[in-house]
Amino acid sequence: MGALDEGHFNGELENGVKIERCFEEEEEESEAISSIKDSVKVLLQGLGEDFNREGLKKTPLRVAKALLEGTKGYRLKVKDIVQGALFPEAGLDSAVGHAGGAGGLVVVRDLNLFSICESCLLPFQVQCHVGYVPSEERVVGLSKLSRVADVFAKRLQNPQRLAGEVCSGLHNGIKPAGVAVVLQCWHIQSPEVELCCTNPNFHPSKVEMQGWVKVLVSSGSGVLENENGDFWVDFLALLKFRGIDVEKAHKQPSISQYWCPSRPLDAMCNGHLTPRNPSIHRVSCKPEPTLPAMINAVSVILHSMGEDPSRKELVGTPHRFVQWLMKYKKCNLEMKLNGFDSGRNFCSDINGPDVSHDQDEIRSELNFPLWSLCEHHLLPFHGVVHIGYFHSKGAEPIKRSVLQSIVHFHGCKLQVQERLSRQIAETVSSVLGGDVMVVVEANHICMISRGIEKVGSSTATIAALGRFSTDRASKAKFLQTISNTTASGGR
């Protein structure tokens, strides 16, 4: 990575040299994009997809740009950021104590960052808190703390190393009396949705808890290296203002060794996890001839991003990434419709073909867990699905497991949320009749990474068929049911 560590142009270079270097870097970037694009095409083929189909034509380019954006830290240097951003600021002239440039603690909290997990190549969310004690009456522009942290976040990382590199980078860059860094990190994991479908004790409120692995790590230097020192105590006190209790977190059992949820995926075969519950039926595993080519393609991607695929922390990464990706392989999965045939009107079969609509009522089935993969960026999105349909009074409602099977069937492949909503609605309609409404609420990793970093954003889509598409009152009633459930904490 030596050449890539050179970072931005040196301001002392002549203009002509700058232009020459610029053209060289553009050419190198173009080669990297081309290499990653070719590798992504191999991955798409391994998933059984046609990368020339509409919707996937630009996916290789989008993925290449996203990966290079997510690892641009390899091409940046801390000194280029802080150079010229140190300002003189005198402290107390006569009083005893620390203030301002004379050594007072400065803390910047809640810096939202994203990094890429070196074990599985999925983005993970970081909330960074930085404190430093100025020395020699020099303070640094506050925005530079975030930019320095981002230099190290935009590399393949694990949480503890990221905290240490941000800490040492700031210490070496601004020469303070001490630096402290606390990181709260969240890593997405895709639970076995089939277990959710078949587990009678499953509750939708557990989805968010099961969806993320959280860890808190810290690092300190200089006068902030001593966790019993006054500066460290002050630093923790200021973090508690934001509800962050570092001491309490450190007393809990460490989960850093289990940080990446993809680590246990070694038992996967043909894209399906070996079930923890042996009573759950799974498709028999068969050798996948495409896996070696896909694994090699990921190694090429690592090299194109500026990494060394032989680095010990990355040796198993291509294999783990492919294993995770294969969960969304295009294949002939079967929906567990428990005897319900497509095109069958469930309500009419029970109550006769001439049942009046006056005897129907809206049935709401809410909070089905959803996990899928965005076909535009090959990044996961997850959330919940709400399904409403007209139900004849006195008739037996369709089982939740049937509806969950439909949700899982359409989610377990490359998707866009708009299409997914329509497909779920059409399939449920084919089973129950034409009057169906589906609302999908999802968080997209592609919205909170790739340099966009819109933390907390979510996407909601609606698909309405039959009476729900024409009867505003029915549509409003179903939407109000979702709203009431959400407001009461049912999600």
- Whole-number pLDDT of residue 449: 65
Q: What is the pTM of this model?
A: 0.79
- Whole-number pLDDT of residue 242: 84
Quote the CA–CA distance of 326 and 433 in Å, as a whole number. Answer: 34
Residue 117 lies in a domain: yes
- Domain with 145 in it: what CATH number? 3.30.1130.10
Angle at CA 65, nearest 5°, toward 59 and 69?
145
- In this structure, the answer to whether residues 216 and 96 fall within a common structural domain is yes
Quote the CA–CA distance of 454 and 385 in Å, as a whole number. Answer: 22
Residue 379 lies in a domain: yes
Residue 417, pLDDT above cutoff 90: yes
The alpha-helical segments, DSSP class H, found in 47-192 are 59-70, 78-82, 142-153, 159-174
Residue 427 lies in a domain: yes
Amino acid, res. 50 = D
Q: pLDDT digit string (tens) for 33-90? A: 999 999 999 999 999 999 999 999 999 999 999 999 999 999 999 988 988 788 887 7
Quick one: pLDDT band at residue 488, thresholds 50, 70, 90? low
Residue 377 lies in a domain: yes
Residue 59 lies in a domain: no
The encoded tokens of residue 38 equal 């070719």
Residue 87 lies in a domain: yes
- In this structure, the answer to whether residues 235 and 376 fall within a common structural domain is no
- In this structure, the answer to whether residues 245 and 364 fall within a common structural domain is no
Residue 27, pLDDT above cutoff 70: no
Give the range with max mean pLDDT: 5-19, 198-212, 250-264: 250-264
- Whole-number pLDDT of residue 221: 96
Quote the CA–CA distance of 422 and 38 in Å, as a whole number. Answer: 32
In three-state form (DSSP H/G/I as H, E/B as E, the rest C), the secondary structure along 429-458 is HHHHCCCEEEEEEEEEHHHCCCCCCCCCCC
- Of the two residues 111 and 331, the one the predictor is more confident about is 111
Residue 354, pLDDT above cutoff 50: no
- Of the two residues 196 and 375, the one the predictor is more confident about is 375
Q: pLDDT digit string (tens) for 252-297? A: 655 555 678 776 544 444 333 333 333 333 333 455 677 999 999 9
The alpha-helical segments, DSSP class H, found in 241-364 are 246-251, 291-304, 317-325, 346-351
Burial (CB < 10 A; 0-12, 13-18, 19+), residue 72, is middle
Q: pLDDT digit string (tens) for 88-119? A: 877 766 667 777 677 789 999 999 999 999 99
**Contact 301/325 with Cβ under 8 angstroms?**
no
- In this structure, the answer to whether residues 233 and 98 fall within a common structural domain is yes
Q: Which of 458, 424, 450 is nearest to 438 (CA)?
A: 424
- Whole-number pLDDT of residue 84: 78
Burial (CB < 10 A; 0-12, 13-18, 19+), residue 195, is middle
Q: Which of 355, 449, 445 is nearest to 393 (CA)?
A: 355
Q: Which residues pair with 378 in a beta bridge?
A: none
Over pLDDT 90: what percentage of the chain? Answer: 52
Query: How many domains, the chain?
Result: 2
**Contact 386/438 with Cβ under 8 angstroms?**
yes
- In this structure, the answer to whether residues 246 and 391 fall within a common structural domain is no
Amino acid, res. 269 = C
- Whole-number pLDDT of residue 85: 80
Residue 1 lies in a domain: no
- In this structure, the answer to whether residues 89 and 229 fall within a common structural domain is yes
Residue 483 lies in a domain: yes
Range of the domain at 439: 333-337+360-488
- Whole-number pLDDT of residue 455: 63
